[in-house]
Copies of this chain bind each other. A is one copy, B any other.
């Protein structure tokens, strides 16, 4: 491309994404920002958001990482189907995702009933339910990025490790994982960001109780619905700043060295 064309289009892209954020900034009433954010609910919701999104990230890593590894390294019938299946939560409108989660993990759900009968443990209306909903929606990000990383990594180092007597587990932890760490960092950031912003599936599946399942996006939505738009914007701003901080902080690891 002529040197200027991509730069101009890229700048347009930045404006496209940046302008709405500037719009938000403009509407925030800065004078009352402090008092609105010091409200107990806002603090509790933000804290809960961080906890549940990190929990969701943990769940996504615990299951998504092995899944990505299997998809990248093993051949088995139906692999293409599994690969597509795992991405579907991205397509599903989140509210429908929440309903689907109720069917599966609700007290009367396919697995939820069993869980409840056996252990008396209920996910719905529980913080663990919020974690589950966020993990459901965000796991595809981890799987997709991790699979790409596993697939594109240079496997010659793994072979060398095997000839040095390293078994599969040792190889994975000491060779494979360090090699894909930058890409995984990027994928984890995306996953975490998506979990942090999750709304529809959480409210539908886990409900909304301050301190238990009311994450920031839920509180923001309620503030909007009840006409407290400025409070909602202030909270959104904080959410953005927190994630911006994390994302910029990750910049060195982001997609490998810049």
Partner-B contacts on A (CB < 8 A): 1-3, 5-10, 12-14, 16-24, 26-27, 62-67, 69-71, 74-75, 79-97, 99-105, 109-111, 135-136, 139-140, 143-145, 147-148, 151-152, 168-169, 172, 183, 186, 189-190, 193-194, 196-197, 199-200, 216-217, 220-221, 224, 229, 232-233, 236, 239-240, 243-244, 247-248, 251, 254-256, 258
Contacts and interface: CB of A to CB of B under 8 A. Distances in A.
18 contacts: A2-B169, A10-B67, A14-B67, A14-B82, A17-B139, A19-B104, A23-B103, A24-B99, A75-B258, A83-B247, A84-B251, A91-B194, A91-B243, A93-B197, A95-B221, A96-B224, A145-B148, A148-B255
B148 A186 contact: yes
B13 A63 contact: yes
Nearest to A93: B217
Given A67-B9, A92-B240, A79 B110 contact: no
Contacts of A19: 104-105, 110-111
Contacts of A194: 90-91
Contact of A7 (B65, B70, B99): B70
A141 to B, nearest CB: 8
Given A14-B82, A24-B99, A90-B197, 14 more contacts: A1-B66, A17-B86, A17-B136, A26-B110, A75-B258, A87-B193, A88-B247, A91-B194, A92-B240, A93-B239, A95-B199, A95-B224, A99-B232, A199-B200
A42 B225 CA distance: 28
B96 A236 contact: yes
Contacts of A224: 95-96, 99
A10 B104 contact: no
Contacts of A189: 87
B1 A103 contact: no
Given A80-B248, A221-B93, A148 B183 contact: yes
B136 A88 contact: no
A256 B151 contact: yes
Task: Identify the 8 closest CB pairs spanning chains A and B, nearest first.
Answer: A23-B103, A13-B63, A20-B100, A9-B66, A93-B217, A84-B247, A80-B251, A6-B66
